[in-house]
Structure 1
């Protein structure tokens, strides 16, 4: 019988579908990849999956029930969310999926609550000794005194570069906000994504950093893997701050000439640039399948340095 994998909010994640398919083949597993999206007919990843199904928005009251129906109908063993807004609702429903024999690839709610809040991210990481940029909650009713301008203004729960902008001084701050916002130290220098794999027992098994050479819509377009002790030390610090984290996570940092390396964001999921780490030899998708299928675990940190990814636009055609 095929082992069922469900990738939710699949969208453009064709590369992730391919990584799981290749990992299944390498393990000798027959996989059934189910990809779901709001409009699967318009999702490239859904067209590359074995089964494509529609799901309501993750903010819909019926989202979890719809996912559970698919899990039961297709004998799903692993559910892989791909966007930040899904994580909290799925973390709260992990037990419901487990009772049906499915593991949801999501860390506990305590981890998601920190990762989805940029102010808490800065506070919790700093308490664990991880360097972070100066970060404050933005209150439009109070004076922003004592700030070193310019700064970043960004949604505390934002992702994919949504709603961020540089403000050069108090005169550019909004008079009102629709959601919690933070003001954060504006950093300069090379930017990195660091991919982490934490096994089911809580051990950090692999740390893969790539320099973000070019970014589009918040996702790396061109990147190159770089190995350095600094990245492993920072990843160990992130896990020290979030000891309940499991599976795949990634965080972003900038090496500022003055402030040094500063971690400013955590994504408790597969990052958009994961295919680069996979191609370099850090096959997180394989290691998750090994855990789910109760196979010998082969997670390692022996990935290749200096591997470059140059993304380009491709197309899936129908009809």
Structure 2
């Protein structure tokens, strides 16, 4: 039986993601050891659910990557899977260090991360590739750039995630005089919102695109969702892949079917999204396909997933003592 060791970084509450990897490994006949790390592993549900857990510095600490390298070296890690946006850039910059130890980091190259982590660049790069996007303008302290199309608008951090710092502004009078980080003003969209999960294989081929409607959202993460199949979502995914030709592995993007302008893609996450377990349950086992690539096994990647699968997430607890 082939054995693989997986490290989940910034594991937090990602118990569902660990479960997906374990289910896929079992169905493949692969023995999988799951390691997890976090700033405070004793307070992380996913670290408690893993086979072994480790404390590491915060992702912004220069020692963060070194700590992961040490875990990889000591425990023979085959695959490192980051889970939050801010750790993607330092890990992408260190890919060669991990590769030298025989470990694959599930992260796209730095050129992809730089676009995905900047909402203004995201809009520019996607628009150049023919992907429909909302108008997006930079906002600086006390002034607006030219070209604003109308009100209301979203004001959001250019590098924000998990709905952090997003607000609706009805007009110039509601704009702050000063901001603490780069911000953008973006077209206010009205309509159903979807996440589209993508899997791009190591050869750069888009193998799967699974859309789910975000029925209820909590802290920027889908709480209730349903898979839906429509050619428009595959077309948009192909456009995102065309705009980011170096992207690899699992990504997801957000799209709103605006009542007035039609679909508009407004955010890309170059990682597993929080709602990935829904795509997995619908038959798109991205976790398995990653393990197959790492283990040099034949790929079973496909786009034949089930529409109409409903996910209703709920709170659960792990008890100690």
Does the 8 A contact of 1:151 with 1:186 survive in 2? yes
User: What is the CA-CA distance between 1:139 and the residue it aligns to?
Assistant: 1.9
Residue of structure 1 equivalent to 2:36: 35
Q: Is the 8 A contact 1:119 1:135 kept in 2?
A: yes
Q: Aligned ranges for residues 240-255 of structure 1 at < 5 Å?
A: 240-255=242-257
Aligned pair count?
Answer: 319
Task: Find the counterpart in structure 2 of residue 193 from structure 1.
Answer: 195
Looking at structure 1, the residues matched to 64 and 145 of structure 2 have their Cα atoms a distance apart, in angstroms, of 40
Task: Give the equivalent residue in structure 2 for 1:54.
Answer: 55
8 Å Cα contact 1:87/1:106 also seen in 2: yes
TM-score (norm 2): 0.98
- Which digits, 9 at most, give the CA deviation of each residue in 1:64-107, with x for residues without a partner? 11000000111100000000000000000000000000000000
C-alpha contact 1:140 1:173 (8 A) present in aligned 2:
no
Q: Name the residue aligned to 1:176.
A: 178
Aligned counterpart, 1:101: 102
What stretches of structure 2 of length at least 5 have no aligned partner? Answer: none
| Counterpart-to-counterpart distance in 1, 2:93 and 2:240 | 22
Pick from 224, 245, 248: which aligns with 1:222?
224
The correspondence of residues 116-265 of structure 1 with structure 2, limited to 5 A, is: 116-143=117-144, 146-265=148-267
Shift of residue 317, structure 1, vs aligned partner: 1.1
Change in Cα spacing, 1:171 to 1:65, as seen in structure 2 (3 Å) is: same
* SS across alignment from 1:129: coil
Instruction: Give per-residue Cα distances to partners, 1:175-221, cap 9 Å, x unaligned.
Output: 11111000000000000000000001000000000000000000000
Whole-Å separation in 2 of the counterparts to 1:309 and 1:217 = 17
Structure 1 match to 2:25: 24
Q: Displacement, 1:142?
A: 2.5
The CA deviation at 1:318 is 1.1
Q: Is the 8 A contact 1:127 1:241 kept in 2?
A: yes
- What secondary structure is seen at the aligned counterpart in 2 of 1:163? coil
Q: Secondary structure at the match of 1:248?
A: strand
2:137/2:145 contact within 8 Å kept: no
2:288 equivalent in structure 1: 286
**Deviation at 1:144?**
5.9
Could you tell me which residue of structure 2 aligns to residue 8 of structure 1?
9
Per mean C-alpha deviation after superposition, the further-off stretch among 117-126 and 145-154 is 145-154
Task: Give me the whole-angstrom Cα distance separating, in 2, the residues matched to 1:226 and 1:297.
Answer: 24
Which residue matches 1:114? Answer: 115
Unaligned runs of 5+ in 1: none
- Moved runs in structure 1, 4+ residues, more than 6 A? none
Please give the alpha-carbon distance, in whole angstroms, between the structure 2 residues aligned to 1:2 and 1:51. 16
- 2:73 matched residue in structure 1: 72
